[in-house]
Structure 1
Amino acid sequence: MLDDFLVRAALAGLGVALAAGPLGCLVVWRRMAYFGDATAHAAMLGVALALAFDVSIFAGVLVVSMLMATLVSTLSGRGFAMDTLLGVLAHSAIAFGLVAVSFLSGVRIDLMAYLFGDILAVSKGDLAIIWGGAVLVLALLAWRWQALLTATLNPDLAQASGLDPRREQLVLTVALALVVAVAIKVVGSLLIAALMIIPAATARPLARTPEGMALTAAGIGALSALGGLQGSLWFDTPTGPSMVCIAALLFLVTLLLDGLRRGLAQRRSGRASG
């Protein structure tokens, strides 16, 4: 079954979506969308260093993404405005990565594949890395879910309960770096953050509990991955961007339906009071 490249592509998309959805909820709750963006953009520099030192792309991206996330966490509490800091680091990382790639002599590299993903070229080895990383992220989130949730919603309560918010931030940083490393083959460094944030934002009005939102986000991410893959086959479009387009359309539909629901609720309350 895995000899079929479409089956491998579908499994790769599902693996990334299932890990990115719940993680994206934590990113949205913490208002760290640009944090995820900066970490994802650092992946390009990780690709360049991995090729330069002839090591695994996964290892290079994981190390650089981890360093970027740690750097952002360290500098954020030292007088720098978060949006300015993330803007500087995110764009600097991808610029240095693209410049570093240009210095690699004798190495053929398809920049589009790393910027926007090349899911149709996923091999069995890539599939093992993607699902291994996804399972590790999900296990990490399941293990620390309650602590992460408490530290996210109320850091003071977390500290009073004996939890260390900075430790939970480190757990989130590790999970974020893992998702970036496994997702670069699927959607590329420019769209990884979108695959985390958009399904989570779409799931918000559909769920009543944090756990429900995480599960819904994973389902929406999976639907976006499969829908984007099918759409790219029908319309001959890039697969990674097509996945994000499906996620964006689902977000728009959810937004419209939620607006209609709120309007109907207001009309009913107005009639009842009248």
Structure 2
Amino acid sequence: MLDDFLVRAVLAGIGVAIAAAPLGCFVVWRKMAYFGDATSHAAILGVALSLAFSLPLVSGTLAVALIMALVVTSLSGKGFAMDTLLGVMAHSALAAGLVATSFISDVRIDLMAYLFGDILAVAHADLAVIWIGAALVTAVMAFRWSPLLTATLNADLAHASGIDPKREQLVLTLCLAVVVAVAIKVVGVLLIVAMLIIPAAAARPLARNPESMAVGAALIGALSAFLGLRMSYVYDTPTGPSIVCAAAGFFILGLMLGRFRVRAH
């Protein structure tokens, strides 16, 4: 069954949705969109290093995304304006990665596939990496859900409960690096943050509690992947952007349903 490239693509999209959904909720709650941008944009530098040193793609992107996330975390709260710092680092890392790829002459590089994803080219090995990463992130988030939620809601309450907010921030950082590494094949570095934020934002108006928001985000992400692939297959549109457009449609629908529910009450 997995010899069908469309089946592999759907499974890859669902795997990324499952990994990104709970993490995306925390990105929305903590207003970490720029943080996600900086981490994902750094992944293109990891691609260049992986190709230059003949390393597995996931190892290079994971290492660079993790380094970027740790650097940003360490610099936060030390006199730097975070939006400015993240903007500088995100675009500098992306530019450095693009420049680095130009020096790799003995390897044919499809930059568009890395920037916007190439889910239709997902192989069996890629599928295994995506689902292993999704399982790892989901397990960590489930295990640390209560401390992460407490630290997100109120840092003082977290301290009073014996929870270290910086440690929980580090957990989110590690999970974000893993999601970036596994999602680059599906939606590319420029659209990873969209798949983190949009499904979570779409589920927010309809959710009654944090857990239902995470589940709703996973469902919306999976449906977005399926519909985006269907749109790409029927209308011959770019697959990664089509998936994000489908997610944006769910976001608009969620806003409308949320406002209708408020007026009904």
Residue of structure 2 equivalent to 1:160: 160
Given that 2:206 and 2:257 are in contact with CA atoms closer than 8 Å, whether structure 1 keeps it comes out as no
Cα deviation for residue 256 of structure 1 reads: 2.1
Cα deviation for residue 261 of structure 1 reads: 3.4
Given that 2:70 and 2:173 are in contact with CA atoms closer than 8 Å, whether structure 1 keeps it comes out as yes
Residue of structure 2 equivalent to 1:58: 58
Q: For 1:127 and 1:256, locate their aligned partners in 2 and report how far apart those are by CA, in whole Å.
A: 35
Residue of structure 2 equivalent to 1:125: 125
Aligned amino acid, residue 9 of structure 1? A
Residue of structure 1 equivalent to 2:172: 172
Residue of structure 2 equivalent to 1:89: 89
Q: Name the count of aligned residue pairs.
A: 265
Aligned amino acid, residue 165 of structure 2? P
Percent of aligned positions that are identical: 69
Residue of structure 2 equivalent to 1:30: 30
Aligned amino acid, residue 20 of structure 1? A
Cα deviation for residue 76 of structure 1 reads: 1.1
**Aligned: 1:69 with 2:69:** yes
Cα distance per residue 1:183-242 (max 9 Å; x no partner): 000000000000000000001111111011000001000010111011100110011110
| SS class of match (2:144) | helix
Aligned amino acid, residue 14 of structure 1? I
Aligned amino acid, residue 200 of structure 1? A
| SS class of match (1:26) | helix
Cα distance per residue 1:232-274 (max 9 Å; x no partner): 0011001111000000011011112323333454xxxxxxxxx
Cα deviation for residue 111 of structure 1 reads: 0.2
Q: For 2:111 and 2:37, locate their aligned partners in 1 and report how far apart those are by CA, in whole Å.
A: 18
Q: For 1:166 and 1:117, locate their aligned partners in 2 and report how far apart those are by CA, in whole Å.
A: 32
Residue of structure 1 equivalent to 2:18: 18
What's the RMSD between the two structures over aligned residues? 0.8
Q: Where in structure 1 are there 5+ consecutive unaligned residues?
A: 266-274
Aligned amino acid, residue 18 of structure 1? I
Residue of structure 1 equivalent to 2:186: 186
Cα deviation for residue 105 of structure 1 reads: 1.5
Q: For 1:195 and 1:71, locate their aligned partners in 2 and report how far apart those are by CA, in whole Å.
A: 23
Cα distance per residue 1:120-173 (max 9 Å; x no partner): 000000000000000000001011110111111111111111111111111100
Q: For 1:159 and 1:254, locate their aligned partners in 2 and report how far apart those are by CA, in whole Å.
A: 35
Cα distance per residue 1:90-127 (max 9 Å; x no partner): 11110100000001121100000000000000000000
Aligned amino acid, residue 30 of structure 2? R
Q: For 2:197 and 2:79, locate their aligned partners in 1 and report how far apart those are by CA, in whole Å.
A: 27
Residue of structure 2 equivalent to 1:8: 8
**Aligned: 1:142 with 2:150:** no
| SS class of match (2:55) | coil
Q: For 1:260 and 1:161, locate their aligned partners in 2 and report how far apart those are by CA, in whole Å.
A: 38
**Greater gyration radius:** 1
Q: For 2:83 and 2:224, locate their aligned partners in 1 and report how far apart those are by CA, in whole Å.
A: 28
TM-score (norm 2): 0.98
5 Å matches for 1:183-262?
183-262=183-262
| SS class of match (1:42) | helix
Residue of structure 2 equivalent to 1:270: none
Q: For 2:68 and 2:115, locate their aligned partners in 1 and report how far apart those are by CA, in whole Å.
A: 18
Q: For 1:60 and 1:231, locate their aligned partners in 2 and report how far apart those are by CA, in whole Å.
A: 32
Q: For 2:260 and 2:206, locate their aligned partners in 1 and report how far apart those are by CA, in whole Å.
A: 13
